[in-house]
Amino acid sequence: MSGPVARVWEAGRVSHPIVVVAAALVDDLTRPRLLLAARRRNPERLAGRWEFPGGKVDPGETPVEALHRELREELGIAVELGAELVGPDDGAWRLSERYTMRLWLARVTSGDPAPLVEHDELRWLEPDAWLSVPWLDADVRIVEALAAHVGSA
Ligand SMILES: Nc1nc2c([nH]c(=O)n2[C@H]2C[C@H](O)[C@@H](COP(=O)(O)OP(=O)(O)OP(=O)(O)O)O2)c(=O)[nH]1
């Protein structure tokens, strides 16, 4: 593509990726041992891969409000948020040309996580096994960084 319209479109895409917010659900916010991974049900190209539960921020929502909503809708839980895992891409984690993700540690305060909508399985990963499931490609370096940050893997 070329010309002024294409340039505006490309500039918009580069400077305003869609923000996804997600949670690294753990058993303990300061000394996590267990990490919750969620297996995607769809779309087909992502189905069967594991991710951090979360989703896109809706217009008018703050990222934190969106994260609480997504966790309530997707897993049926309320959480206490811990620290954000700050990423290398303007503080976030670039997932693709289109998406960028912000990730917070979180602990369940109410409800029992269940794969209600987007997922077909949830798994609490034991220490030393956080990389034992096939995460979405973009998530692998994030899980590695998280494990290094909290001292587990
Ligand atoms: N939720 C989530 N999405 C991720 C992760 N890693 C990753 O590449 N993505 C990608 C997959 C999707 O292409 C994109 C958007 O996430 P999503 O499909 O969960 O967002 P959503 O629930 O708001 O989507 P929608 O179906 O309501 O439109 O982010 C991750 O760890 N968690």
146 against 2, higher pLDDT: 146
- The answer to whether residue 11 scores a pLDDT higher than 70 is no
CB 81 near ligand 1, within 6 Å: no
Output the average pLDDT for the chain.
91
Would you place residue 151 in the very low, low, confident or very high pLDDT band (cuts 50, 70, 90)?
A: confident
Q: Which residue lies with its CA nearest to atom 17 of ligand 1?
A: 55
Q: Are the C-beta atoms of 75 and 115 separated by less than 8 Å?
A: yes
d(CA 60, CA 73): 18
Residue 106's DSSP bridge partners are 25, 81
Q: Which residue lies with its CA nearest to atom 4 of ligand 1?
A: 51
**Domains of the chain in sequence order:** 18-152 (3.90.79.10)
d(CA 17, CA 62): 16
What are the pLDDT digits (tens) for 117-150?
A: 999 999 999 999 999 999 999 999 999 999 999 8
Amino acid occupying residue 17: P
